[in-house]
Structure 1
Amino acid sequence: ADLKKWSQSIMYLHPKYSALPRRIGQVSAGVAAAIAMTFATIASIYAENFYMKNSMQWALIVIIAYVFKDRIKEWLRILLSRFIPRLMAEEMYTFKSPRRGISLAKCRNFVRFYTPDNIKEEIILKRKKDNNPFYDLLPEEQILCFTRDIQICPYPKRKDEEDIQPWVKKLAIVDKINISDFLTEMEDVSAVHYYSSLDQIYSTEIIKNYNIHLIIDSHDFSTDQSELSHYLVLINKDGIVRIEQV
């Protein structure tokens, strides 16, 4: 097993993560904090000039300035994240050739929470194809949208270099999602179900299961083609029970 793993290790690439998202987040947070602090400072100067220190009016203005300072910082952070969404990716990384160090592909990951009103109609229709007659009666679902943008880099051929074929045409990326914290917070609900068979009464324990609808939208921008896949993930307190395609 170790020999097989070692011999196949050349087929695997390790991503090189970029520090740009973290730096952009720090800069935007700093700008928002600076603007909010400017408002609080101006309010404090106004209170000092027009009211006696430690008076009721002075304390009221300082408290209001402190409250608005915190809110302004949060509002600006949300506003900046909306205006520069492509720079606010949670992760940015590059796959490079281990032999020559040439960039093979660039990837960006985005994680957002949406409501059904903000999701494409074809995805909602794909979700409803599980033939659940009570779908319209269920509470509004909260949708976690994970987006990965993959760009295959062209081969940087030099003038004195012959063509090397084939170049990278596709990548298979394996995602590992840690749901241990989610399982810890999950309710361990079970019930005893009684049934009869051949004049005998039996009991069995039924563990509550949760359904997670996983819809994968694969879009190729070079050909403008999309493919939707719908999977149902059944989980309980012990972990994933099964995954079935809808």
Structure 2
Amino acid sequence: MIEEQNDILDSRIKLHDRHRFEIKLDMDLHDSARSSYEVETYFFVPRALNIGPHNYTKDNFYNSSQRYIRFSTPKIGLGKLCDPALKSSPLNRVRQDLSKILSGGNSAALTAAICDELRLLGCIIRGEIRDYVKIFVEGLASYAAAEPAGRRKMFVGEGLDNFFADMKNLETALLSLRGEISGPAVPLKVRETAAFFDEYVSLLLEEYLTLLLEALRANTAARTRFESVEKEAVSIVTAQSLYRQTMKYPSVLTPGSTNEVLIYRRGVLKKFMSGVLYLKAEFSEWETLTQVVFGLAAGAAMLFAVLVTLFFQSRYAMNSLPFVMALVVSYVFKDRIKDWLKMLFSKNMTRWISDRKINIIDPVSGGCIGLLKEAVTFIGGRSLPADISRLRNIDNITSIDGEGKPERVFKYKKEIVLYPGKIIKHHERRRGLNDIMRFNIRELTAQADDSFVDYPYVDTVTGEIKAAACSRVYHLNLVLKYAYLDRQARPVINYERIRIVLNKDGIVRLEEVKLV
């Protein structure tokens, strides 16, 4: 994962799968009536891939991208989730609302609230376990028993003990909650949501603790030092599969089979749980300024056709051949002029016009809490901003490197406007938003050459001619520019430079280029 930590805008770029990479923006809300962020992403595509305005349109770009807008997962420690004094804990809120139902106060609103809190609890548990395991894995990778305790990675040692202690307390609390929810007085929807939650948490423990075990066993010194931790982790992991079998949950691994049910079920559970954080996005292709500009282009083209018609009408009869030819020519050029002007406006006016607008709707209040505007266009070398050009060429070895790497450039611009006051009014714990875009590179590599090529050479020992299979790759370079106001309302601009190494079969790797 490639990360860039800023003030109120954090970005993370990572490989999602063989053909897609993901750009995730974390936006921290602060008390203001309106906050805005601008992100410009410049794609430098090798000309060898034959990508250009003639065969790669706006529709191609948007069809290759997936967008998700959601609340950030609230941060509550595993230990604090079980604290009865913490009113913001979803666990405590479930218990409070459940008590009302068991006291005869059942209602649709109360049922929905419990289900939402259970789903939110699942998201928080996943986030906390994931973050802890990530820290432990990084620490275990460089752990050395001979080093003084003060120089060892944080959270390895006492941190592991505290982590497992918190998980035990959480397990006890969830076991108690499971017993309360299983009663017949509890609505069916709550019991079904609780079953999904139970299965989901079991899978989380199995998945992340397996990663922890893998890192622990890869370091001999750490494995010797934390033998008791290893035994405890093994005990928890092995118990999860047996537990899901006992509960007759579908997510059970069957050795020797395709296990498609396990992966499918895991995806269903994850989407169900995280769905409580997702916001509704209403897409609109109708942008007033955009339509006005395109209307002016159509009007200018029509004006040309009318003037040509009037000119020839004053000199030739309407049924004459010259007049008919003039009408045909004016009609042909009218459409060409309209398309040319639309392309010209799209290319040079992306600062003011956009391809589409997305209204961000809060599912709780039903109101619009923000909007997102997008525009994409190819740009020529002379139109490339100086700061972007400098960052693109920052890793060139010589001044003529660029001549050996001809590229086409297209820019994707995104403007995000949020209304924090509207969000904070209805949400106590959800104070940040994630904008996630996944981009598929399949269309960019449609005309790529084969991934491997035979390279003939002469063996230096035997003198024989041999052939070596060499990888053929292409470099898709991205330069990202982030512009926003910090908490003191001062303008901030940050940059990122990413190299995506790809071939005909997909993405090979992501590389971060240092901006020095």
Residue 17 of structure 1: which of 280, 283, 292 is its match? 283
- Going from structure 1 to structure 2, the CA distance change for 1:190 and 1:105 (only over 3 Å counts) comes to same
Residue 93 of structure 1: which of 358, 361, 367 is its match? 358
Q: In structure 1, list runs of 5 or more residues that go unmatched.
A: none
Length, aligned pairs only: 241
1:118-143 superposed Cα distances (whole Å, 9 cap, x missing partner): 33333222222224324243365322
Give the corresponding residue for 2:474. Answer: 210
More moved, 182-191 vs 212-221: 182-191
1:175 aligns with 2:433: no
Give the corresponding residue for 2:413. Answer: 147
1:177-211 superposed Cα distances (whole Å, 9 cap, x missing partner): 23322222223374312453764765332242110
1:206-232 superposed Cα distances (whole Å, 9 cap, x missing partner): 242110111111222343112211111
Query: 1:51 is paired with a residue of what secondary structure?
Result: coil
Contact 1:36 1:72 in 2 (8 A): yes
Contact 1:104 1:168 in 2 (8 A): no
Distance 2:326 2:301 in 1: 15
Give the corresponding residue for 1:130. Answer: 395
Give the corresponding residue for 1:114. Answer: 379
Structure with the larger helix share: 2
Give the corresponding residue for 1:185. Answer: 447
Distance 2:426 2:500 in 1: 45
Letter in 1 for 2:496: S
Residue 95 of structure 1: how far off its partner (Å) = 1.9
Distance 1:225 1:26 in 2: 32
Higher relative contact order, structure no. (Cα contacts within 8 Å, ≥ 6 residues apart):
2
Give the corresponding residue for 1:235. Answer: 502
Distance 1:97 1:3 in 2: 22
Distance 1:88 1:63 in 2: 33
Query: 1:40 is paired with a residue of what secondary structure?
Result: helix
- Going from structure 1 to structure 2, the CA distance change for 1:219 and 1:92 (only over 3 Å counts) comes to same
Query: 1:6 is paired with a residue of what secondary structure?
Result: helix
Residue 3 of structure 1: how far off its partner (Å) = 2.8
Query: 1:69 is paired with a residue of what secondary structure?
Result: helix
- Going from structure 1 to structure 2, the CA distance change for 1:220 and 1:166 (only over 3 Å counts) comes to farther
Residue 153 of structure 1: how far off its partner (Å) = 0.9
Give the corresponding residue for 1:8. Answer: 274
Residue 326 of structure 2: which of 61, 67, 70 is its match? 61
Distance 1:203 1:32 in 2: 57
Residue 85 of structure 1: how far off its partner (Å) = 4.1
Q: In structure 2, list runs of 5 or more residues that go unmatched.
A: 1-265
Contact 2:498 2:511 in 1 (8 A): yes
Name the larger-Rg structure. Answer: 2
Contact 1:116 1:141 in 2 (8 A): no
Contact 1:115 1:141 in 2 (8 A): no
1:39-66 superposed Cα distances (whole Å, 9 cap, x missing partner): 4244334434432345454345334433
Distance 2:349 2:392 in 1: 30
1:223 aligns with 2:490: yes
- Going from structure 1 to structure 2, the CA distance change for 1:131 and 1:94 (only over 3 Å counts) comes to same
Distance 1:92 1:162 in 2: 24
- Going from structure 1 to structure 2, the CA distance change for 1:40 and 1:119 (only over 3 Å counts) comes to closer
Structure with the larger strand share: 1
Distance 1:191 1:107 in 2: 44
Query: 1:174 is paired with a residue of what secondary structure?
Result: strand
Contact 2:393 2:402 in 1 (8 A): no
Letter in 2 for 1:15: A
Query: 2:331 is paired with a residue of what secondary structure?
Result: helix
Letter in 2 for 1:173: D
Distance 1:106 1:132 in 2: 42
- Going from structure 1 to structure 2, the CA distance change for 1:77 and 1:49 (only over 3 Å counts) comes to same
Contact 2:473 2:503 in 1 (8 A): yes
Contact 1:234 1:242 in 2 (8 A): yes
1:131-166 superposed Cα distances (whole Å, 9 cap, x missing partner): 432424336532211111111213249xxx989645
Q: TM-score, structure 2 length as denominator?
A: 0.41
Aligned-pair identity in percent equals 24
Distance 2:321 2:312 in 1: 11
Contact 2:396 2:402 in 1 (8 A): no
- Going from structure 1 to structure 2, the CA distance change for 1:127 and 1:81 (only over 3 Å counts) comes to closer
Query: 1:88 is paired with a residue of what secondary structure?
Result: coil
Residue 69 of structure 1: how far off its partner (Å) = 2.2
Contact 1:152 1:168 in 2 (8 A): no
